[in-house]
Each structure stands twice: as C-alpha cells, then as structure tokens.
A and B are shown apart, each in its own frame.
Chain A
C-alpha cells in the first residue's frame, strides 16, 4: 500500500528540483526521516487498516444478520482459504459442503481484531500520527520534527506491530479472541491448547507492545516539536487549534499508554512463564462436566487489575481518538466559514481540562465489577464533569458558524456533519455515566451505538474531512468534488441507518458480542428488535460500497486530479498553505515569521477575506520576497 501510494505522488514531486543530496529511493520513500513522508506512510497504512477492520466487520454483520447461513457465492470459499478452519465453519447440506460461515469463535476473533485494528491501527495512526506528522510541523512553521530519526523509528516500530497483528491471523487457532479489551482469565485460557508463543493472544500482546512503543516515541517527538520548533512569532495564542489538540493528544498517549504496556508485560509473563498476575486461585475450566481440574496456576492474582490498567489507558485513549478529529474539524470550519473561531481560548482551556480529567474517569467502564458507593460516586462525578469541556468545545465550534459565509465543499460537509453526529454519540454517553442506569445499559448495543457515533460518523468523518482538505497540499492535486459529495451523502445516510437502530436494540436488551445477533438463544427476550439486524447489515454493506467511491477518488486524483491552482487553494490562513504543494524537503522556501492569530478571516478593512499568519501587517516591509515557485 505504502509503496503504491508513494509511487503515485512521485510524479508530482518531480517539479521541484533539489540540491545534490537528494536522498535515494529507499531513503526517500521507505526509510524516510521527513515528517511529511512519515505522515503519509502512517496515513496510508492506517487507511489500509481501516479498510481491513471494516472488512472484518462486514463479514461479522453477515453473521449477525444470517447466523450460520453460508456466505454468498465464492466469498465464503475465499475467506475460508485465507483465514482457515479456526475462523470459518463448513456449512453442510447432507454430506456436501455448500459454503462457509463465520464460526462462533471466528466471530470473537474478528470482533476482537475489529476493535483493536480500528482503534490502534486505524484511527490513532491516521488522526494522530498521520495528520499530526504531516500538518503540525507545517502549521507551526517548523522545518521538520524535532527528532527526525526517532520519528522514523516510531513508524517502523508501528510497522512491526502491524506485521505481528496480521501474522496473528495465521497461527494455530487464529488471532486474539477475547475482545479488544482482552480481559483475563478468558484471554489466558482461550489459547490454552495452542503453542505458548505463537498463538493469537500472545502475538496480540507482542504487537501491542510495539504499537505502544511507537506511540510513546511519537508522543515525545510531538511534544518537543510543538514546544521547541515554533517559528518566530508563533506565540502560544497564535497556534492553530489543531496543534493544541495534537499536543494534548500526545500528552495523553505519553502518560496513559505506559500502564497498558506494563499490563501487557504482566500478561506476557502469565502466558509465557505461567505466573498468576491475573489468575485468581482455583479456576476450574471445562466445568461443563463438573469434573474439570483446576488450572495449573498458583493463583493469588486479580483479573480486575488488568481491567484497571487497561481502562486507565483506554479511557484517555478515547480522547486520543476524538481530539485530533475535533482539531481538524475546527480548522476546516474556520477556513470554510471564513471567520475566526469563536472562543479559541475557552477551547484550549477545555482540552486542558479534558486532558486532566480523562485520567480519573476510567472506572466508568467497570461499574459492573462490584464497586462500593464511594468509589462509584467518585467516578460518576468525574465522568459527568468531563462532559462539560466537550460541551464547551462543541458549542464553540457551533457558534463559530454564526455570521459566517459557509462554503460547502466536501471537507466542510464532512466537518459539519461531524457536529451533530458527535453530539448524538456524546449525549448518549451521559446516561452511561450513571452507575444505576448502567445496570441496565452495560454491554448492550446502546454502548456500541454510543461509541460508534463518536468514532465512526465522528472521528472517521473528521478524518475524511481532513483527507479532502489536506490532500491538495500533500499531492499537489485536488480530489474530485462530485465524487466527494457522493461519498459524503452516501456515507451519512448509510452510517445513520447502521447505527441508529443500535440504540433501539440496546434498549430492548440486545447485548454485544453475539455472533447471531441474539437470533437463537435469546429470542425470548429480544425478538421484537431482531428484524433490525438485517437492515443494519445491509446498511453496513451499502456503507462499504460507498467507500469504494472514496478509494477510487483517492487513487484517481493522485494521477488525474486537477492540479492545485496555487499553493493555497482554500484561501486559508495557516502556515501549511504558505509553501509549495507538496512541500519540499525542509518545508518552507522562505523564512517564516508569524504576525497574527490563526483564524484571521474576513478582517474588517482587509483587502481580501483572509489574512495569512505569515503576511506582515500592512505597512511593514516583507521580510523576503515570495519567489514564485515552479
């Protein structure tokens, strides 16, 4: 993937002649230390993983809608050939194999990997590492990241984690199968009959250790760059909000990820050396026949410890998923409403509050583990508190629209749809915050719907907006507007048909992680809402089909897209538009000085409706004449 995409942009790059130490092919496209190339590598790898994660989910949606019915046509045969009998069951008619369907354990494998891939291999690499790498240094006027080689190291650490995760599908028993949360003891016993190291669960942990290492190195780099490499005049108050969002995200990763890394190490100890960190005394597996033997663990451990360490990461992680998205949306809304963001300072304050609070809410994922009223009261209160900064952020963006001159190009469409979609997801988080209500809601599809609204039509839409917005900068070509709008409307409709019924199903008692959507064992309870399963699955496949438009647009525009009319096709103010598209090695072809805030659109009395950050105030002589490029 990385190579293909890279090969395309190569043509665009030819225009810019460079001095002699032009790096060779490997240094330029593969082992690059240039933040822009690394950003593109992250983004493209991440998109490929989004695609994979979504692909897994489309197969799961078949299983939810049709149970053990064979997959259509030769798809089943193909999937069986790829993933093997651990994941796909034969469907028989008499003695003949007529097709293949996802097995119950296969569903668990895909579910765990869908969550893992989407979160750690899709969104974080794109929204944080990809866009952060590409855009943030440009926006602050830096020539590169503070530690370019470290940057490359984090990408390759990430790459190793990708390889390990993919590989894990092909070992005996297939990949991890205990949810993306990987709760022990299940995570420990699920692979018992397989090889000690080469099994899904252990490889998942190894992959996570590399992934975490990559994020940590990235976070160190981002924060240092943000603090140290701001161009002259780029004071704290003049930083684009996206950069603030990336900075806070990096800080969350830096402090929240290590505890998960330690949990992963403990878990590896349990699996490889037989220790008992997460194993309580006297587990009896295969109790079915009642004469099961206790597991060979000395015991004394605590399964809840894993949950604490996991959620200590995973709650901050959800803000890692959303903050870069909010940052992108802010940029795009400001640019396309042609007016400054309302309440910039309040927004920066809000994300600082968010960053602090997100470390003390984690146990709202663990209300069902038996919590005393005091502990529970603490976490309920912090969880409710944390919704306040989110409300401030969203309110600020919404108010920014007032009085604007809204330009609905594709990025703006996605960015504005983000607002109500995140609204639905965020608001439905509120009832979950109450322990007593969560008694009913926990682990139902209501929760699934809650967080998919924030991550799918939320973050994914923000990512789409970002891709459409910065694509011209990265490739020198515009994406097709018509296809973009088609992609937008198709996605918006399909994704709501897909996730809206989940609230109803959740209220009616449908729980997550049911391979047949509740059609067999739980009909007695959830019969009234079962009919939604098929509808939702069809919406999911339609959503998949609509994504093909995006893939086509993305690839086609790379070679055939309209060339950018100038360096600043959106008439934006921030610094990344003050350099050629794509920007050369070293980023800026003139010295950069910043004179004003990030969103000086439609300044009264100015001659045009945007005043770039680097444009000297009227009357000041320019520092250096802008050479016309190419």
Chain B
C-alpha cells in the first residue's frame, strides 16, 4: 500500500503532498510568530517611554548572524540544485555548509549574545525615589532631561560588587562598581542620543561606587533577564523560540546529510523533494529572523 503523490505532484492540483504540507505548516508558523510579534507590539505601545530601552543589543554581532542565516538560505538552495543535477558530492558539501551556518548562528547566540545579557545588572528606580539618584539619571536641573521635555530616565545599569546579594532578601543594598556609561555622564550629549540609533554595546565605567537601596527599585531588577522589563521578555522569548527552530532545522539537515542521504541510492527524486521541503522551512526560519533583527536591534 502506497500513499499516492508523496513524490510526484498530483496532476490536477500540481502539488506533491509534502510540499503542500510544509506550506500549510509554514502558514501556521506565520500565525505563531505573528502572535508573538503582536505581543511585542502590544508591549511596546503600552510601555511607558522610560521603560522601553533602545540600543541594548550588539548590532555588529546581530548583523553578522543575519548574514550567516542569509548565507545558509543560499547554500541550502545550492545543495538542492546540486541534488537535482545528481551531483551528490556538491550536495553534501552545500548541505554541510548549511548546517554549519546554523550551528554558527546558535553558537553566537548562546555563546555571546545571551551571556552578555546575563552578566549585566540593571534596575529601574521607582519614580518617587528618582531624585536620590539624579546624579546618575540626569533628569533634574539645568540640561536635565525634564528640562528638555524628554521622558525621564529611570534606569541604572552596571556591575554589582555583591552579585550574590542581589537575590538575597536579607540584604537591602546593592553596590555598583562598574556603571554603565549612560549613567556615568547622564547629561552628556553623547548619552542624549535620539532613539532608534543603533550603537555598540556600552562599556562599563569603573570608579566610585553607587549604592542602590532595593526599596528604591522596581521589582525585576537583576541581570538582564525577562523579569527586568517586557522588552527583554519579548527578546528572549522570540529569539529563544526562533533559536529552537534553527536547532530543529539543523537536526533535520544533519539527518539528511548523514543517514538520510542513503535515500540517494534508491530514490534520489524523493531525497530531492525532502531537501526542498526542509529548505522551505529553513527559509521561513530565515524570514522570521529578518523581522527579528530590525525590530529588536534597530528600532
């Protein structure tokens, strides 16, 4: 018993089953990520202007990853084409390039971008306590943000001396030694940049200590984690789920590159279809990233 049209298209619909299936699956994935992006839009529109951060992500690294993914989308097409021409060697080579790109993408994400966030400390100062920390926020007085009709800055970031105490309810103070440059000279022109301008990751200023009283902070303070604000929550959720998709794609390609490629001997056309279908999925993964990149890194 054979299911018809698994390899060749059905004449009247012009489709083979797997191709139709993957398109339907992609449609549902679009709705899935659509839902997540709708969440992002809701969060962003609803956020207070002082809460939504800008320029927190490392644009060069992100750009690098974008290129890697785009490249892998090209290599997967090349491997499919090689297979169509029945050039097994080239097929294997291009496919290897594809999953290596995928792995590289994940490595950058998990080895660099995420850990960067984990090692950073941030906290929102409660509005009513903002005055106490104005030296680091630069809202009041001459040249302050309020004078210039800008939303107040309430965010302080840096490196605590006592990381272990951040979570410890018995200790009510956090001592920052390395302060984010934005808080270091809050009123400088350089730190008064307009929104939507990407810039490199901040470097931290060693120097005098800043003591934060936990009572003055909004809950959620700590490392740059989903707790800190809804921007990071969106960021980790969407890039996390996207990362899972990349991982899934890599596993599929690894399979077709390794044991799955044996099918070449018996039914090369079917293998070709499978690569095409997996490639379609891979393009979706790529496409999602094309949305993620500007939305999180640039806007």
Contact = CB atoms under 8 A, between A and B. Distances in A.
Contact of A275 (B25, B233, B241): B233
B210 interface: no
A622 interface: no
Contact of B31 (A229, A258, A276, A302): A258
Contacts of A129: none
B66 to A, nearest CB: 23
Given A262-B32, A269-B233, A297-B220, 14 more contacts: A143-B1, A146-B21, A220-B21, A228-B20, A255-B27, A255-B31, A258-B35, A269-B236, A269-B237, A273-B236, A298-B124, A300-B230, A305-B42, A308-B38
A151 B279 CA distance: 22
B15 A228 contact: yes
Given A146-B21, A220-B21, A224-B20, A254 B27 contact: yes
A227 B15 CA distance: 9
Interface in B1-50: 1, 3-5, 10, 13, 15, 17, 20-21, 24-25, 27-29, 31-36, 38-39, 42-43, 46-48
Given A269-B237, A585-B1, A258 B43 contact: no
B143 interface: no
A404 to B, nearest CB: 34
A258 B34 contact: yes
Contacts, number: 151
Interface stretch (B87-95, B106-114, B221-229): B221-229
A309 interface: yes
Contact of A309 (B10, B28, B39, B43): B39
Residue from B24, B34, B38 with most neighbouring chain A CB atoms (10 Å) = B24
Interface residues of A, number: 48
B3 A309 contact: no
B34 A300 contact: no
B218 interface: yes
A229 B5 contact: yes
A276 B233 CA distance: 8
B24 A297 contact: no
A266 B39 contact: yes
A146 B3 contact: yes
A43 B236 CA distance: 39
A148 interface: yes
Residue from A143, A260, A262 with most neighbouring chain B CB atoms (10 Å) = A262
A143 B3 contact: yes
B24 A220 contact: yes
B237 A298 contact: no
A221 B233 contact: no
B39 A229 contact: no
Contact of A227 (B20, B229, B241): B20
Contacts of B42: 302, 305, 308
Given A147-B17, A254-B24, A297-B220, A265 B36 contact: yes
A377 B219 CA distance: 39
B298 interface: no
A2 B79 CA distance: 45
A292 interface: no
Interface of B: 1, 3-5, 10, 13, 15, 17, 20-21, 24-25, 27-29, 31-36, 38-39, 42-43, 46-48, 51, 124, 218-220, 225-230, 232-233, 236-237, 241
A315 B228 CA distance: 34
A224 B17 CA distance: 6
B23 to A, nearest CB: 9
B4 to A, nearest CB: 7
A83 to B, nearest CB: 34
A262 to B, nearest CB: 3
A265 B237 contact: yes
B34 A277 contact: no
B51 to A, nearest CB: 5
B28 A216 contact: yes
B172 to A, nearest CB: 14
A277 B13 contact: no
Contact of A302 (B21, B46, B124, B241): B46
Residue from A146, A227, A298, A308 with most neighbouring chain B CB atoms (10 Å) = A298
Contacts of B232: 275
Given A265-B237, A266-B237, A298 B1 contact: no
Residue from B15, B29, B34, B226 with most neighbouring chain A CB atoms (10 Å) = B226
A294 B237 CA distance: 25
B225 A276 contact: no
Nearest to B46: A302
18 contacts: A144-B1, A228-B5, A228-B13, A228-B20, A258-B29, A262-B34, A265-B36, A274-B220, A274-B226, A274-B227, A275-B226, A275-B227, A276-B220, A276-B230, A297-B219, A298-B219, A300-B46, A305-B43
Contacts of A148: 3
Contacts of A143: 1, 3
Contacts of B39: 262-263, 266, 277, 305, 309
A586 B1 contact: yes
> What 4 A-B pairs have minimum CB-CB distances, sorted nearest first?
A298-B220, A262-B35, A275-B233, A259-B35
B17 A146 contact: yes
A192 interface: no
A229 B13 CA distance: 10
Contacts of B15: 227-228
A302 B219 CA distance: 17
Nearest to B41: A305
B31 A224 contact: no
A543 interface: no
B226 A273 contact: yes
Contacts of A300: 43, 46-48, 51, 229-230
B285 to A, nearest CB: 15
A296 B219 contact: yes
A266 B47 CA distance: 17
A600 interface: no
A605 to B, nearest CB: 31
A228 B34 contact: no
A273 B227 contact: yes
Contact of A301 (B27, B33, B230): B230
A331 interface: no
Contacts of A275: 226-227, 230, 232-233, 237
A261 interface: yes
A227 B124 CA distance: 55
A85 interface: no
Nearest to A293: B219
A299 interface: yes
B10 A228 contact: yes
A368 to B, nearest CB: 19
A572 interface: no
Interface in A279-318: 294-302, 305, 308-309, 312
Nearest to B39: A266
A273 B220 CA distance: 10
A294 B17 CA distance: 54
B218 A298 contact: yes
Interface in A217-271: 219-221, 223-224, 227-229, 254-263, 265-266, 269
Nearest to B32: A258
A254 B236 CA distance: 25
Nearest to B29: A258
A183 B39 CA distance: 16
